[in-house]
Structure 1
Amino acid sequence: MQLVVVGAHQRTAPISIRERIAFAEAELAQALHNLGQIAVEGFILSTCNRVELYALVAEADGGRSLRQFLAQQRFIDLDELMPHLYTYIDDDAVRHLFRVASGLDSMALGEAQILSQIKTAYTAAQQTELLGTTMHRLIQAALTTGKLVRTETQLAHAQLSVVSVGLSLARQHIELSNRSVVIIGAGRTGELALKHYLEHTSNITVLSRTFERAARLAEHHKVVAKPMSELLATLQASDVVISCTSSPELMLDLEQAQALQAQRQRPWVLLDLAVPRDIDRHIGALADVWLYDVDDMQAICERNRASKAAEVAGAETIVERELVKWQEWWSTQAVLPTIRALRAHAEAIRLAELERALARLNLSEQEQAAVSALTSAIINKLLHQPMRAIKDTAASPQLAHAAQQLFRLDFEAIA
């Protein structure tokens, strides 16, 4: 078995590539079903900044099958995709996921939203029955690592997110007090944006393709909700727009923006936090329009990363500590079949010899039970030290292999 991750994120692939390989929520179930054709276990992590496939595969091929799978699923030529992909194997794959969960690999260093995104990926894989013991353990270990980093270091204090960076960019162009802010999308990012902008203005309108979702969010925060049918009219009165849907279609195209801006005749800040993008990139060329997508926020995030070198070092230490724990568990899993087969072999011998002995003896039920308990105790004591030695040296397969040869263990008997 080999643990593999193949993916692309904001530092390896521009948004023009990421939006083509991103998996929408509605596509995940089928994609996971298809992943099950080449993986024993697995899950897909798809966010605005990364797309990653995690898989436990029976045949070690260095990630080749996963790279081909990603290209085929997203209808993109593998030669075009390859320069933007990374592949991690076994311990490196685990270390990578732990760093992702810790916010160390995020564009906004230490951001916490990635934890909920990993949980969402976990739930989706669980619903398609693509999670087994290994991936369940891996994700739980990653979430634990992420939480430890945030409690044991200052990495997450005064943290940045794409929402807070977008807010900073908006304030460079417009004084937000009493300005009209429109949020398109009522998911986690939309709610996070709403909380941030409420600190500067209460003139906020939320729109969503599911109006009920927008209405619940707006009611909770005492702002306005409108249906998507009123989008263009709402945008005409806006000063700042934050779009963060999971729609494969544009929320605002160039022709619509030109018509709106001709009527507005004032500055307009558009923050496109979606992947695939919600707002036509050509709109940024219009007069008095400032359009930013997630990749435009990279420079601010990198400056923040450079200022937190000490916290990063502390977080990396925690990642390595938790990786050791994973390695200990994983190496034990490799010898469990040998241990189970050895115990089954010894138990089969015990039961056969016990049956022969009891057939020759005239013992009461109480005496038979006592003899049976005695033989079990002897087997347990004989096996205790060998099994402990196999577990303790699990990083090396020599003892497990020796036990298999010495006792001619039958693995099919315990399957």
Structure 2
Amino acid sequence: MQLLAIGINHHTAPLALRERVAFPLDRIKPALQMLRTAWYPHAADASRDEPRGETLATLPALDGQTAEAAILSTCNRTELYCATDDHAAREHAIGWLSQFHNVPVDELAPHVYALPQSEAVRHAFRVASGLDSMVLGETQILGQLKEAVRTASDAGALGTYLNQLFQRTFAVAKEVRGQTEIGAHSVSMAAAAVRLAQRIFDNVSKQKVLFIGAGEMIELCATHFAAQNPRELVVANRTAERGSKLAERFNGRSMPLADLPSRLHEFDIVVSCTASTLPIIGLGAVESAVKARRHRPMFMIDLAVPRDIESEVGQLEDVFLYTVDDLGSIVREGNAMRQAAVAQAEAIIETRVANFMQWLDARSIVPVIRQLHGHADAMRIAELDRAQKMLARGEDPSAVLEALSVALTNKFMHGPTHALNRAAGDRRDQLVELLPDMFRPTEGRYGGHR
């Protein structure tokens, strides 16, 4: 079984491309099912007869193997984590990603990274530890990765390999944060948004702030902006109840999302992060707002992927529009304070990668061990059956036990003895060196010391 991490992120692809391959949460489970048939195209015919709603775990296994997968989709990355025997998994995954999102392969492929085996393990560890984030040491990505794993588990897409990978990934992230200062002086996207607002407005406390959405990122932003005691804090959300609850936490107010076009001009600062697949704030609405504000500056932050605010808005005078990528330069200012911890964190990760690869290597011989056990058990059953028949005929139990032990010993020794007799040269020397270790009694067993 081969491990593979494949995807695009803020290092390799611009926002315009990342938002085109982002996965809405409600599409991840069906996407995982489709991805499995991309690895095993001939599984599609077999799976057509399955009832709707079947998961990866219930789809027909091919050649005794079932692919494992998880999808991590955030504003900064879309990644597929895979465990499969498909040797063309990279090409199948890129092709599937292209087809799923209707993005031409030649447009997508140059931005894709494909990391096999230990590179995939190292990447997962670094992502969870915050070393691969736009904000070095940030903690939000760990929660997002855990959610991705829960979703994959609910879809039946996880198995022995990815389960083990992710459990160790979470343990490594905990170890890195506990033993280093990678999270010290951390600058989150939310904190960076406040810092940028302070560059545009001398005093945020005099400004009216509107938050569009009520998810985790908006909650973090509201927490940071509320600490500046803005003149007014308002939350607009599709679900009125959720928006009201969030607003109440910060002594703010809520408003219906439908009122946004008519009330947009009231706000000096607008922070948006929803799960909408289409922009919810268009150029026309902002033009009207700017006119109503008599050209007083408006600061807008679009943290959504895909974007909530049409990109053309950024060309308007008196409007300062920033996206996730634009915040990158702001958050990098705080990175210098955390660089000292990076080397220590990387050392921890390298040790844990080596440990995981040892486990993975050990897994590769499991089929051989099972075969040996099966062969030995078959011999044991055959000789036990013969011994029981001898006892049933009334033969002396001591003689029966002696015959049983001799027969088992001869059968177990036949293979190694035959191999030695047939071997020659270096092959025989290797067997002579290995066989004593293979047949040395384990301490505490077979008459050894207890």
The yes-or-no answer on 1:184 pairing with 2:197 is: no
Q: Give, as a single letter, the amino acid of the residue that structure 2 aligns with 1:10.
A: H
Offset at 1:301?
3.0
Asked whether the equivalents of residues 182 and 234 of structure 1 are also in contact (C-alpha less than 8 Å), the reply is no
- Counterpart Cα distance in 2 of 1:287 and 1:323: 51
Secondary structure in 1 matching 2:281 = coil
- Counterpart Cα distance in 1 of 2:330 and 2:341: 18
Offset at 1:362?
4.9
Greater Rg, structure 1 or structure 2? 2
2:243: which partner in 1? 214
2:33: which partner in 1? 33
Offset at 1:363?
10
User: What aligned pairs does 1:87-236 form with structure 2 within 5 A after superposition?
Assistant: 87-174=114-201, 175-201=203-229, 203-236=232-265
Asked whether the equivalents of residues 32 and 71 of structure 2 are also in contact (C-alpha less than 8 Å), the reply is yes
Indicate the larger mover: 299-308 or 60-69.
Answer: 299-308
Structure 1 residues without counterparts, runs of 5 or longer: 387-397, 404-415
- Counterpart Cα distance in 1 of 2:182 and 2:240: 37
Offset at 1:23?
0.8
2:57: which partner in 1? none
Secondary structure in 2 matching 1:37 = helix
Q: Give, as a single letter, the amino acid of the residue that structure 2 aligns with 1:190.
A: I
User: What aligned pairs does 1:13-32 form with structure 2 within 5 A after superposition?
Assistant: 13-32=13-32
- Counterpart Cα distance in 2 of 1:256 and 1:167: 24
- Deviations along 1:270-289, one digit per CA (max 9) or x if unpaired, are 01111111111121222221
- Counterpart Cα distance in 2 of 1:38 and 1:57: 11
2:286: which partner in 1? 257
Asked whether the equivalents of residues 241 and 271 of structure 1 are also in contact (C-alpha less than 8 Å), the reply is yes
- Deviations along 1:273-310, one digit per CA (max 9) or x if unpaired, are 11111111121222221110011112233343344322
Asked whether the equivalents of residues 264 and 286 of structure 2 are also in contact (C-alpha less than 8 Å), the reply is no
Aligned CA RMSD, in angstroms, stands at 2.5
Q: Give, as a single letter, the amino acid of the residue that structure 2 aligns with 1:92.
A: E
- Deviations along 1:36-76, one digit per CA (max 9) or x if unpaired, are 21350001111000011111121222611111111111101
2:270: which partner in 1? 241
Q: Give, as a single letter, the amino acid of the residue that structure 1 aligns with 2:355.
A: K
Secondary structure in 1 matching 2:185 = coil
Secondary structure in 2 matching 1:308 = helix
1:304 pairs with one of 320, 323, 334: 334
1:295 pairs with one of 325, 337, 344: 325
- Counterpart Cα distance in 2 of 1:201 and 1:179: 9
TM-score by length of 2: 0.79
Count of residue pairs the alignment pairs up: 379
Offset at 1:92?
0.5
- Deviations along 1:336-390, one digit per CA (max 9) or x if unpaired, are 11112211211121121011102111599xx99xx7xx97xx99xx89xx9xxxx
- Counterpart Cα distance in 2 of 1:157 and 1:295: 23
The yes-or-no answer on 1:70 pairing with 2:97 is: yes
Q: Give, as a single letter, the amino acid of the residue that structure 2 aligns with 1:318.
A: I
Asked whether the equivalents of residues 38 and 57 of structure 1 are also in contact (C-alpha less than 8 Å), the reply is no
The yes-or-no answer on 1:358 pairing with 2:420 is: no
Secondary structure in 2 matching 1:204 = strand
- Counterpart Cα distance in 1 of 2:136 and 2:218: 20
- Deviations along 1:227-246, one digit per CA (max 9) or x if unpaired, are 21122344221111110111
Identity of aligned residues (%): 38
- Deviations along 1:8-27, one digit per CA (max 9) or x if unpaired, are 11111110111111111122
Structure 2 residues without counterparts, runs of 5 or longer: 40-66, 417-429, 436-450
TM-score by length of 1: 0.86
Offset at 1:253?
0.6
Asked whether the equivalents of residues 243 and 278 of structure 1 are also in contact (C-alpha less than 8 Å), the reply is yes
- Counterpart Cα distance in 2 of 1:180 and 1:166: 15
Asked whether the equivalents of residues 193 and 221 of structure 2 are also in contact (C-alpha less than 8 Å), the reply is no
Q: Give, as a single letter, the amino acid of the residue that structure 2 aligns with 1:187.
A: G
Q: Which contiguous aligned blocks of 4+ residues in structure 1 show a shift greater than 6 angstroms?
A: none
Asked whether the equivalents of residues 62 and 89 of structure 1 are also in contact (C-alpha less than 8 Å), the reply is no
- Counterpart Cα distance in 2 of 1:2 and 1:183: 44
- Counterpart Cα distance in 1 of 2:328 and 2:319: 20
Asked whether the equivalents of residues 179 and 201 of structure 1 are also in contact (C-alpha less than 8 Å), the reply is no
- Counterpart Cα distance in 2 of 1:345 and 1:217: 64
Offset at 1:77?
0.6
Secondary structure in 2 matching 1:291 = strand
